[in-house]
Structure 1
Amino acid sequence: MHTLAQLRAGQLSGITRLDLVCGLTEFPREIFDLADSLEVLNLSGNALRSLPDDLHRLTRLRVLFCSDNQFTELPACLGQCTALTMIGFKANTIEHVPAAALPPLLRWLILTDNRITDLPTELGERPHLQKLMLAGNRLQRLPESLSQCHRLELIRIAANQLSELPEWLLTLPSLTWLAYAGNPLETEADAAALEATTSIPWSELSLEQKLGEGASGVIHQALWEQTKQVAVKLYKGEMTSDGSPLHEMNACITAGIHPNLIRVEGRIVGHPQAQAGLVMQLIDPSYRNLASLPSLASCSRDIYADDTRFSAGVAMRIASGIASVAEHLHRQGITHGDLYGHNILWNEHGDCLLGDFGAASFHATSDSLESRALQRIEVRAFGILLGELLERIDSGLSAEQRVALEDLQQRCCQPDVLARPGFSEVVRELNGS
C-alpha cells in the first residue's frame, strides 16, 4: 500500500501500480505525475464521489478499482480512457450507468452490490467484454444488445429482480460461468433437503485454527462433541461478487452426497451472533488447489504453476471425477456456476473434490430447452478444464487417446450451446478412454 505523502513527495515516479487507501474525499491531482507509467490504479476503500473529467490524461491506465467508495453514478470520464479495460466499482451506491462511462476496450466490468436498475444499450457494443459482474443490484432486465458480446464468458447477475433469463443469454457462444441465484426467476432450493439437514448446536463445537477465508465466509478446523475433527464455515452477511452467501449455503446442503463433494455434516444453530454456518468434513492436508485464481491479465483463465504436470492416469481421474460430480449436481437441478481449477482440491493420486458453491444456482430438474442450455453452458467450463489438464500431461497418454480427448474437449467448447454433449455423455466417453 502506498501513502499520499509518498505520492506528493515524488517518491513513486515510474510505478505501474498505485494503491491508495487513506480516506480520500477528492482525487489527488499528483496522480497525473505518474501518467507516463501508471497502468493499475486502486482507490478502493476511500470516500470518493467523483473522478476528474481529465482522467484520460492517464494514457496508460488499463485497470481502475474504486470499490467501497461513495459514487452514485459510474463516472462518464471513464469512457474517454482509451486504454482502460477493467473497471471495478463494487459496493458503492451507484444508481446510474451512463453510456459515456463505458470505454471502447472494456473487457471486465465489476458493479456488484450497488443500486442499478438499468444498463445502457451501449454495453453490448463493447466487443471485448469478457466478464460482467452485476450481482446485488436491482436489475429487472438485461440490455438485449449483450447478445452481440460473443466473447462474454462470465456473468454474475445473482440477487437482482430478473423474472426470466433472456433466450439470447443462453445462446451466447462463449458463455461459461453463469450465476443467477436470488432472482424471482430461480427455482427454489429443495425444501425437503434443507429441512432434513442435521442441526448442530454451536455449543457442541470448539473452534481451532483458521484454515482459510474467502469472500463468503471463514473456515476453521473444529472439534465436534470433543471427539470428531471437522471443518466449520461461518458465512459473512455481505454480498459477494457471485451473490448471496446464504444461497451458497443452501446449494451446499441440497447438493447431496457424492465422492467428489465435500460432505456436509449439518447446519449450525444457536450461534451467539446468529451467524449462519455449516459443519463439513475435514479435508486431508494432502489435498491442494489445482490452480490459482485468474489474474488481471488472464481475466477468465486460471493460473497454473509452471511446473504443474500430471500423468495421464491422474489427469483422467481428475477429469472423470469432476464430470461425474457435475452430472450429479445437474440431476439435483444445480449448476455450480464456477467450475474452475481453482475450486478443485486434488491429491497426487488424482482424487479430487469440487468446492465453493458461491455461484451455484437452481434450475428445474425436468428437461427443457432452458435447463439443457444452462447445463451445456457448464459443459463448456468443463471443456476448458479438460484442455488445461491435457496441456499438462507428461506421460501415459497414447496418440489415439489424445485425439479422442481433444475431440471431446472441442465438442464441449463448440459455440452452438445445445450441440454440446451433456455430462452423462462426457462421463461415458471419459470412462471409455
Structure 2
Amino acid sequence: MKKLNYTFAFIFLISNMIFGQDNEKNKEFNSLSEALKNPEKVIRLNLSNQEINVTDEQWLQFINLEYLTLKNDRLKQIPIAITKIKSLKVLDLSGNDFIKLPEEISNLTNLEEIYLNDEKNMNLPKTLSTLAKLPNLKTLHLENDNLSKLPSEILEFKSLENLYLNQNKFKKIPEIQTLDHIKYLDLRGNDIKPELQDMKNLNFGFKINF
C-alpha cells in the first residue's frame, strides 16, 4: 500500500512540475518593468498600446522571447535590436506608422508568423521582399491595409502557408497559385463578387475563406 502511495505522490509531483513549466511558458507580460526583472524567463511580451522606450541593451536581454507584440505603439521605425532576438517566432507590428521593415529583420530565422495589419502607409513591395528572406515564415497577416492587389514580390516567398488579406479592397482572387506551399487564403471582408466566390470550390490547391 505504501508503495502505491509513493507512486501516486511521484506522479502528482511530476504532473505539477510539468504544469508549472507550461504555465510559465504561457504567461504573458504586459509591463516592461516586470519583464525586465527576469528577462531570460520571458516567453511572451505584450507591449501593445503603449509608448515604449526600450534600449538596445534591454531588448537583447530577452534571450528566450518567442512572442512579441508592439501593436498600436505609433512606431515610425522598428527597433533594430529586435532583429537580433533569434528566438522570436511570432511578431505583431500592426497599427504603427512605419513605411517599411529594416533589412535586418531577415536575421529572425526562426520567425514563423508576422502581423502587419492596419499599415496603410507601408511600402508593401519592399516589405515583402524583405520578409521573403525569412526561411521559416509560414503565416503573414496583411489585414485592413487598404490593398486592392498584391505586388509580384509575394511570389518570392518560399515557405508561406497562410495568407490573411481580410478587410481589404480586393475584387478578385489574387493570383498566387504558383506558391505551391500555400494552404490557406483568407479574403473575408473584401468586395469579391459572388460568382468569383463560387470559384473557391475549384481546385486551387489551397483553402480560400470569403
Shorter-chain TM-score above 0.5? yes
The aligned counterpart of 1:244 is none
Largest Rg, 1 or 2? 1
Counting only pairs closer than 5 Å after superposition, residues 329-408 of structure 1 correspond to structure 2 as 362-363=194-195, 371=198, 373-376=199-202
Q: Deviations over 1:157-214 (max 9, x none)?
A: 355xxxxxxxxxxxxxxxxxxxxx414xx1xxxxxxxxxxxxxxxxxxxxxxxxxxxx
Specify the SS of the correspondent of 2:104. Answer: helix
Q: Give 1:79 shift.
A: 2.6
The aligned counterpart of 2:60 is 32
The aligned counterpart of 2:166 is 135
The aligned counterpart of 2:94 is 67
Q: Deviations over 1:25-60 (max 9, x none)?
A: 55553122112x111112223222221234331111
Query: Structure 1: how far apart are the matches of 2:68 and 2:39?
Result: 13
Specify the SS of the correspondent of 1:95. Answer: coil
Work out whether 1:110 is the aligned partner of 2:141.
yes
Whether the 8 Å CA contact 1:26–1:50 is kept in 2: the answer is no
Query: Structure 1: how far apart are the matches of 2:103 and 2:148?
Result: 18
Structural RMSD (CA): 3.2
Query: Structure 1: how far apart are the matches of 2:174 and 2:135?
Result: 17
Q: Deviations over 1:236-260 (max 9, x none)?
A: xxxxxxxxxxxxxxxxxxxxxxxxx
Q: Give 1:120 shift.
A: 4.2
Correspondent of 1:101 among 120, 124, 131? 131
With structure 1 as the length reference, what TM-score do the two structures score? 0.35
Correspondent of 1:20 among 17, 36, 47? 47
Q: Give 1:2 shift.
A: 2.3
Correspondent of 1:4 among 24, 32, 49? 32
The aligned counterpart of 1:83 is 110
Correspondent of 2:191 among 182, 198, 201? 182
Query: Structure 2: how far apart are the matches of 1:136 and 1:72?
Result: 20
Counting only pairs closer than 5 Å after superposition, residues 20-419 of structure 1 correspond to structure 2 as 20-21=47-48, 23-25=50-52, 28-29=55-56, 30-35=58-63, 37-97=64-124, 98=126, 99-102=129-132, 103-116=134-147, 119-138=150-169, 144=175, 146-159=176-189, 181-183=190-192, 186=193, 362-363=194-195, 371=198, 373-376=199-202
Aligned-pair identity in percent equals 20
Q: 1:101 to 1:128 in 2, by over 3 A?
A: closer
Whether the 8 Å CA contact 2:160–2:181 is kept in 1: the answer is yes
Query: Structure 2: how far apart are the matches of 1:27 and 1:50?
Result: 13
Specify the SS of the correspondent of 2:177. Answer: helix
Q: Deviations over 1:253-295 (max 9, x none)?
A: xxxxxxxxxxxxxxxxxxxxxxxxxxxxxxxxxxxxxxxxxxx
Query: Structure 1: how far apart are the matches of 2:102 and 2:172?
Result: 22
Query: Structure 2: how far apart are the matches of 1:132 and 1:151?
Result: 11
Q: 1:119 to 1:96 in 2, by over 3 A?
A: farther
Query: Structure 1: how far apart are the matches of 2:160 and 2:99?
Result: 23
Query: Structure 2: how far apart are the matches of 1:54 and 1:62?
Result: 15
Query: Structure 1: how far apart are the matches of 2:147 and 2:101?
Result: 10
Amino acid corresponding to residue 363 of structure 1 in structure 2: E
**Over 6 Å off, 4+ runs:** 140-143
Query: Structure 2: how far apart are the matches of 1:31 and 1:5?
Result: 12
Whether the 8 Å CA contact 1:2–1:18 is kept in 2: the answer is yes
Whether the 8 Å CA contact 1:124–1:147 is kept in 2: the answer is no
Query: Structure 2: how far apart are the matches of 1:142 and 1:375?
Result: 13
Q: 1:3 to 1:49 in 2, by over 3 A?
A: same
Specify the SS of the correspondent of 1:109. Answer: strand
Q: Deviations over 1:82-134 (max 9, x none)?
A: 11110012123343121123323221000101134654433223232111112
**Could you say which structure has the higher strand fraction?**
1
Q: Give 1:74 shift.
A: 4.3
The aligned counterpart of 2:3 is none
Whether the 8 Å CA contact 2:109–2:136 is kept in 1: the answer is yes
Whether the 8 Å CA contact 1:25–1:49 is kept in 2: the answer is no
